[in-house]
Structure 1
Amino acid sequence: MDWVKSIDWPAWMGTLFLIIGFRECAVWIMTQFNHPELGNLIGLISLLVLLLLWRKFRKVPARLVDTNNKIMKESAFAFLPISAGSLLMLVHMGSEIPLFVVVLVVSTLIPLWVYAKMAKRWL
């Protein structure tokens, strides 16, 4: 039970509140424009813009960075059901598979390349 005492609970709660708060606000705002499906994307982009602006004028707190790193590392298991669903979808796509694979590769490689460039420059 020592691991429970070593967790920085205020940082965890603050980080989760920040992520969930931005997402929910963005979904609500986009619902007002009749496009709730864009809420996740707008929430992510607005949080990224806020953190970039914050980083320009101040340092991002280490507690926030550490907590975010742990959340990202532990949330990798959340993608396993999505992967299984994608495999089932691929089986039923038939002749559309090549186009789907091209879109998948492009939409994955470009963000990873941009992230690598940003990480190389700023870290």
Structure 2
Amino acid sequence: MDWIKNIDWTAWIGTISLIIIFREASVWIMAQFHHPELGNLVGLLSLLSVLLLWRKFRKIPARLVDTNNKIMKESAFAFLPISAGSLIMMVHMGKEIPAFLLVLCISTLIPLWVYAKMAKKWL
């Protein structure tokens, strides 16, 4: 129970609140334009823009960076069921596997690599 005392609850609540507020506000704004499905993307880009703008004038607090790193590390487990489902689907695809892997690489790995490079350089 000692690990509970070591958690920076203010940073965790602030970081999660920041993410939720940007996401929900973006979904609401995009719903006004009749495209609520773009809310997540607009929220991500707007939060990234605000953080880049903030970093230009001030340093991003270390508490926010540390909490974000922990959230990203722990949220990787959320993708395990998706990975298992993809593996099961690939077993049944047969000759279509190369095309599927090409689409997977283009639509997932390359954007994640570019985002990581951007984050490393600008944040």
The corresponding residue for 1:26 is 26
| Gap runs ≥5 in structure 2 | none
In the alignment, the residues of structure 1 paired with residue 92 and residue 121 of structure 2 have an alpha-carbon distance, to the nearest angstrom, of: 42
In the alignment, the residues of structure 2 paired with residue 83 and residue 119 of structure 1 have an alpha-carbon distance, to the nearest angstrom, of: 25
| Gap runs ≥5 in structure 1 | none
In the alignment, the residues of structure 1 paired with residue 93 and residue 33 of structure 2 have an alpha-carbon distance, to the nearest angstrom, of: 32
Q: Is 1:2 the counterpart of 2:7 in the alignment?
A: no
In the alignment, the residues of structure 2 paired with residue 63 and residue 21 of structure 1 have an alpha-carbon distance, to the nearest angstrom, of: 19
The within-5 A match list for 1:42-81 is 42-81=42-81
From the superposition, tell whether residues 68 and 49 of structure 1 become closer, same or farther in structure 2 (CA, over 3 Å). Answer: same
TM-score, normalised by the number of residues in structure 1: 0.85
Cα displacement string for residues 58-114 of structure 1 (whole angstroms, at most 9, x for unaligned residues): 100000000000101111100012222333444565665443322211123322432
The corresponding residue for 1:114 is 114
TM-score, normalised by the number of residues in structure 2: 0.85
The corresponding residue for 2:86 is 86
In the alignment, the residues of structure 2 paired with residue 115 and residue 96 of structure 1 have an alpha-carbon distance, to the nearest angstrom, of: 28
Letter aligned with residue 76 of structure 1 = A
**Count of paired positions:** 123
From the superposition, tell whether residues 31 and 87 of structure 1 become closer, same or farther in structure 2 (CA, over 3 Å). Answer: farther
CA drift of 1:43 comes to: 0.4
What's the RMSD between the two structures over aligned residues? 2.1
* Residues 27, 39 of structure 2: 8 Å contact kept: yes
From the superposition, tell whether residues 81 and 33 of structure 1 become closer, same or farther in structure 2 (CA, over 3 Å). Answer: same
Percentage of identical aligned residues:
80
